[in-house]
Amino acid sequence: MPRPSQRTRARKRSSKRLPGGGAAFHYKKEKVGSSRCARCGRVLSGIPKSVQSKMGKLTASQKRIQRIYGGQLCHLCLQYSLKQAVRERIK
C-alpha cells in the first residue's frame, strides 16, 4: 500500500522489476513551478525553483530580490505601479 501522499493519479509512476520476479511502482517527484508575478503572471527572474523544504534552508537574500515587492511583482509591474503612485500624488 503506498503512502497517503502517493495515493493520487497526479504522481508519475514507473514499474520496476524486483529481483524475486515481482514488480513495484516507483513514484516520481512532482516538478516545481516557477514563481510568477502577482499582476501579470510573468516568470520572476532571480528566484530559484525549488520545493518549500529546500527554500527554507536558503538565506533571505537568496529567496527574493532586494527591492520593494521583490518576489511578488516583476520589474515592469513595479515600475508601472510606482509611476501610478507618483501621478496620484501630483494630482
- For residue 16, the one-letter residue type is K
pLDDT greater at residue 4 or residue 18: 18
Q: Which long-range contacts (CB under 8 A, 24 or more apart) does 44-48 make?
A: 44/71, 44/74, 45/74, 47/71
Q: What is the pTM of this model?
A: 0.66
Residue 1 has pLDDT above 80, yes or no: no
- Domain map of the chain by residue range? 1-30, 32-91
Band (53; pLDDT cuts 50, 70, 90):
confident
Which tens digit of pLDDT belongs to each residue from 16-29? 999 999 999 888 88
Nearest Cα residue to 52 out of 27, 29, 75, 25 = 29
Q: Give CA–CA dist 88/34, Å, rounded.
A: 33
